[in-house]
Amino acid sequence: MEEARAAVPADLDAVDQVARRVEAAMVTQRGGDLLLAGEKGRGSVRERMARAIDASDAWAIVGCYDGVVLGWALAEVELLPDGRRVGVIEGIAVDPEARSAGIGEAMMDLVLAELEGAGCIGADSRALPGDRETKNFFESFGLKARLLTVHRSFTPSSGTGSPGDGAASA
């Protein structure tokens, strides 16, 4: 049976294992390597979950199946300059081998209830481009795109005289 509950310190080893398996799959997705690099600057999933366990404006949640931790979710409140509160789902992940068992849905239900109970006007999260499964998951809970991040990668120039290499132009 699937369930979601608040994480406790004893869950962190299992969360770390799930995070490693999910990250291994993410690195191959478009934008995944940059997302993971940015996240590492804020600490590992384990470290971020540990901080959220003790925070009053953040939630560390685990998803379980028959008592075994197979997913994690991390959310916090962002206070806007006008005083409104927006819930930010920093991450939600289920072990790739345990997807479609209802674990993600159980965690999302709990996350949204916590954010609404905290007085948030809504909830934001992220999905990688082309990740239809994640996009569909979020849309099933009423989350829709409100902002897109676009990106262009730069590769080292193989020739001379190209824009940006310091060559003078007439």
Distance from first CA to last CA of the chain, Å, rounded? 70
Question: What is the DSSP-derived secondary structure letter of residue 9?
Answer: G
158 domain-assigned: no
Spatial separation of the C-alpha atoms in residues 36 and 81, rounded to whole Å:
28
Indicate whether this model's pTM tops 0.85. Answer: no
Tokens read off for 67:
């008592």
Q: What is the mean pLDDT of the chain?
A: 85
What local confidence, expressed as pLDDT, does residue 37 receive? 60
β-bridge mates for residue 113, sequence order: none
The boundaries of the domain holding residue 44 are: 2-140
State the CATH number of the domain containing residue 70.
3.40.630.30
pLDDT in tens, 135-159: 888 888 988 888 777 777 787 654 4
Strands 68-79 and 85-94: antiparallel
What local confidence, expressed as pLDDT, does residue 86 receive? 95
pLDDT in tens, 41-57: 678 899 999 999 999 99
Spatial separation of the C-alpha atoms in residues 52 and 105, rounded to whole Å:
20
What local confidence, expressed as pLDDT, does residue 170 receive? 44
- Cα 38 to its chain centre, rounded Å, is 11
Instruction: Say whether pLDDT at 164 is over 50.
Output: no
Number of domains comprising the chain? 1
Q: E strands of the chain, at which residues? A: 2-6, 58-65, 68-79, 85-94, 123-124
78-81, Cβ contacts within 8 angstroms, sequence gap of 24 or more:
78/124
166 domain-assigned: no
149 domain-assigned: no
Spatial separation of the C-alpha atoms in residues 126 and 160, rounded to whole Å:
39
Distances in Å between the Cα of 4 and the Cα atoms of 37, 39, 108, 119, 145 are 28, 24, 9, 21, 25
83 domain-assigned: yes
125 domain-assigned: yes
Spatial separation of the C-alpha atoms in residues 63 and 68, rounded to whole Å:
8
